[in-house]
Each structure stands twice: as C-alpha cells, then as structure tokens.
Structure 1
Amino acid sequence: MNNTNFDLQEADSADFEELADSAGLDDSKTKTLTKAELAEMLFESVGLNKREAKEIVDQFFNQIRDALANGEHVKLSGFGNFQVRDKAARPGRNPKTGEVIPIEARRVVTFHASQKLKNAVGET
C-alpha cells in the first residue's frame, strides 16, 4: 500500500480490496502472501527500515503462536478469532484398504473470520 495507514478496526471493504491489490492478489491466479511480503508492505507504508519491519512481522506471529500454545484465544478486531480446540480420539478409515485405524486425540487451531473480513472477501 502506498503510504496508506491500514487499521483493521476502521477498515472497510474498499480498504481490504486495496490491500489485496497492493499485495498483487488477482482472481485469475491465486497468489500466496508471505511474511516477507508483509514486511515489505510495512517498510513501504509505515517507513520502518526493512530489518525493523521483518522483526515486527516475526514478533507479531510469534505472539499469536505463543498465546495459542498457552491456550489463550486471539481476537483481532475486524479480522477474526483464533483459538485452540481439543479434538477427541476417533476411528478413521484407510481409503485404499477400508481398514479402520485409530486417530489420536489432538489439539487444533481454528480461525473464525469476522463479519467485516467475510464481507470484504465476498465482494472481491
């Protein structure tokens, strides 16, 4: 984004569309936005140097990871919520042989998009 401050709390669908455009996202071919590209966007829009921008992006994701590892919910207003859920053990099936195999209990991370994000994605 060209020197545009992006606040998820105040963002509308046009802001999300501008962010997607600046990231090079295109309906005709799906592109993956990387942490390096996020850092580059911070560098360009906020004026941080590249090292600081990379550290901020890394620290942001580290904080989310650590909070989830500690069983905390992560709520990003205007974007969505992450949480860890426990899934019980259950029987599964090998699709080739039909053999019943046990699937162990595990913890999984879930994400629920905010209505604002759902609306923005639905309009693109």
Structure 2
Amino acid sequence: MNKAQLIDAMASKSGLSKNDSKKALEAFVESVTDSLKSGDRIQLVGFGSFSVAERSARTGRNPRTGQEINIPAKKVVKFKAGNDLAQDVG
C-alpha cells in the first residue's frame, strides 16, 4: 500500500474527504517525526510504539572485496507492534 492508497482507505473508513484524510496523515507523520527528533517515545496502545535507538560505531566488511570498513554511529527509528496489531496480523 502506498501513500495514495492509504489516504483513500482512510477517507473511506472515516467518512472524511480525501483532502482531509491527506491533511490528517501528513499531520500525523509530521508530529511523529518531530517527537522522535526531540527524543520522545510514541506509544499507541494496541497498535505499537515508535522510539529512537542509538547504534554504536562498528567495524563491518565490504561483501565484494572483504575489506574491513568503519560504520559510523547513528540513530535509528524502531517500531514495536502492540499486542492487538500482532494478533490481528498473525
């Protein structure tokens, strides 16, 4: 499902117009992004939680040459599915 399909699905299930659904989705994405940038954790009970984790620097290997390379530290976004979502999908 791409963004346009998600907007269509949101509009049909909520009774909102496609334009209002698009605004709602964009506001959600922007709010989640801003919260994660500030280091907050977002928990949607039953759906899941978004958080930021630090990956430490490490040494890896170039699969083509076998040469060792340094992989720098970085922040990554993690999502953990909630129980309701996990049960509905699985």
Same fold (TM over 0.5): yes
Say which structure is richer in strand: 2
Amino acid at match of 1:93: R
Secondary structure of the residue that 1:83 maps to in structure 2? strand
- Residue of structure 1 aligned with 2:75, choices 93, 101, 107: 107
Q: Which residue in the other structure is 2:16 paired with? A: 48
d(CA) in 1 for partners of 2:82, 2:11? 27
What are the ranges of 5 or more consecutive residues in structure 2 without an aligned counterpart?
A: none
Post-superposition, which runs of at least 4 consecutive aligned residues in structure 1 deviate over 6 A? none
TM-score normalized by the length of structure 1: 0.68
- CA apart distance, 1:114: 0.9
Q: Which residue in the other structure is 1:62 paired with? A: 30
2:30 matches 1:80: no
- CA apart distance, 1:119: 1.2
- CA apart distance, 1:36: 1.7
- CA apart distance, 1:102: 0.1
Q: Percent identity?
A: 39
d(CA) in 2 for partners of 1:51, 1:119? 32
Aligned length: 90
Q: Which residue in the other structure is 1:35 paired with? A: 3
- CA apart distance, 1:71: 0.8
Greater RCO between the two (CA within 8 Å, min separation 6)?
1
Secondary structure of the residue that 2:85 maps to in structure 1? helix
TM-score normalized by the length of structure 2: 0.91
What are the ranges of 5 or more consecutive residues in structure 1 without an aligned counterpart?
A: 1-32
- CA apart distance, 1:34: 2.0
Q: 1:45 to 1:117 in 2, by over 3 A?
A: closer
Cα RMSD (Å) of the superposition? 1.1
d(CA) in 2 for partners of 1:43, 1:112? 26
